[in-house]
Amino acid sequence: MTHAQALEILKSGQNIFLTGSAGTGKTFLLNQFIKYLKKKKIKTGITASTGISAIHLDGITIHSWSGIGINKNLSDSKIKKLVKKKKLRKRIRDTKILIIDEISMLDAYRLDLVDKICKAIKNPFLSFGGLQVIMSGDFFQLPPVNRENEGVKFAYDSHVWQRADLKVCYLDKQYRQDDIAFINILNTMRENKAGENVLNQLKTRLYKSVMWQINPTKLYTHNINVDAINDNELSKISGEEMTYHMTSSGPRELIDSLKKGCLAPEILKLKKGALVMFVRNNFDKGYVNGTLGIVVGFNQNDCPIVKIKSGNEIIATPTSWNIEEDDHIIAHVSQIPLRLAWAITVHKSQGMSLDAAEIDLSKSFEYGMGYVALSRVRRLDGIRLMGINNIALRVNPDIVEKDKEFKNLSK
């Protein structure tokens, strides 16, 4: 399905599941839809399963929007208590459309809990209380966090998913990758058919340099302290250090939420020669979330000048990350849209398009981990592979079957 077709279906008032492989522009399309809703002055709950993905939409987490917080289950008495909160009642009662991005990371229990809260406040006989709900994401990507070591129950296992009569929009045009051989590798992995042929193609990138003048970002599958790595690399560069402090306004809890989800650090330290990554999309200025570059100097206003792969030099000026409600910005933070980029975790790379990455998949331990890491990068020759094991090629077989169902429903 094309963006234009999907956008018309989003406007139709149906409950929708918007999906497609990594790099098909799901969040871009959601932002187009949100612009349309704002023009029409339609009250919309703009949310995502994580702070990082919520910020790409100028929204908040679904946990915060619905009032469920970190809870997986709530008793009837606790729900009654919760829905007495005036702010929450007004927010949900006034909302016509609810958007939930990165639905793959929201488990079935919490999606059912959101449904219960909406029903308690709006209409007890309709799914989500009668809201039009748009859920977006790709179940091959990061799964819900499973701290109790129980089997993961995906959002599509929830009771409300079965009852909500969701229409599926499956996007299939690739915007991130333009390397046909690499797209075929990623699609073969999605189908769980990656064998010796795919392994051998990936191994052609073992210890290989990327065709660029700088070292690629190290993408870590494990949650090691990438900040310590970045700080250590910066300390190796001699020369003057420039420091940029984040500014903010709005209620404390919303500012905290923005700071947690925003990939730009509160205190950004840079030197000439630092490897950096843009963490915001700005198509007019020529960068997207994940664009790599080198700081080549600072202008008269002390803003960093970043040379990117194309050879273009971009002046990185402060930008804002906002939370909006009723077309008003209720909280915002402002910072230079950069972070040090010698290292980043796979988790924090979601939504990014990387020109180059050094990836070690030898310690992959979970379905989909290899797919998520590799699909951040635009081209196969942008990957320097440091190791790979067999589980890195595997994706969850249950999701493979479910994905076939989604493709058929989209047709």
Q: H helices within 159-264, ranges in order?
A: 159-163, 180-190, 196-203, 226-235, 252-261
Q: Look at residue 58 in the predicted model and tell me its pLDDT.
A: 84
Contacts of 392 (CB under 8 A, 6+ apart): 361, 364, 369, 370
Given a contact cutoff of 8 angstroms between Cβ atoms, the answer to whether 346 and 145 are in contact is no
Angstrom distance (rounded) from CA 51 to CA 142: 14
- Say how many residues make up the chain: 411
276 dihedral zone (left: phi>0; alpha: psi -120 to 50; beta): beta
pLDDT at 81 over 70: yes
* Amino acid 335: pLDDT: 96
By DSSP bridging, strand 217-220 and strand 343-345 are parallel
pLDDT class of 309 with cuts at 50, 70, 90: confident
What are the E-state strand segments in 120-223?
A: 132-136, 167-171, 217-220
Q: Which residue has the tokens 């997986």?
A: 72
Topology given in CATH for the domain delimited by 3-175: Rossmann fold (3.40.50)
Output the pLDDT for position 106.
93
- pLDDT more than 70, % of the chain: 98
Cα(207)–Cα(71) distance, rounded to whole angstroms? 44
Question: Both tokens of residue 155?
Answer: 């959002």
pLDDT at residue 20 is higher than 80: yes
23 is written with which tokens?
Answer: 């790099």
Q: Over the chain, what is the mean pLDDT?
A: 91
Q: Is the pLDDT of residue 6 over 70?
A: yes
- Give the model's confidence band at 215: pLDDT under 50 very low, under 70 low, under 90 confident, else very high: confident
Of 35, 71, 32, 31, give the one whose Cα is nearest residue 48.
31
Q: Six-digit token pair at 206?
A: 């073992």
Average pLDDT of the residues in 44-72: 88
DSSP string for residues in 51-87: HHHHHTTT-EEHHHHHT-TT-S---HHHHHHHTT-HH
Q: Which residue has the higher pLDDT, 17 or 174?
A: 17
pLDDT mean over 290-319: 94
Q: What is the mean pLDDT of residues 224-233?
A: 89
Per-residue pLDDT of 156-173, as tens digits, reads 999 999 999 999 999 999
pLDDT at residue 149, rounded to an integer: 61
Of the two residues 69 and 47, the one the predictor is more confident about is: 47
Residues of the chain with CATH 3.40.50.300: 3-175
Residue 147: pLDDT band with limits 50, 70, 90:
low
pLDDT digits (tens, 9 = 90+) for 333-389: 999 999 999 999 888 887 788 888 999 898 888 888 899 899 999 999 999 999 998
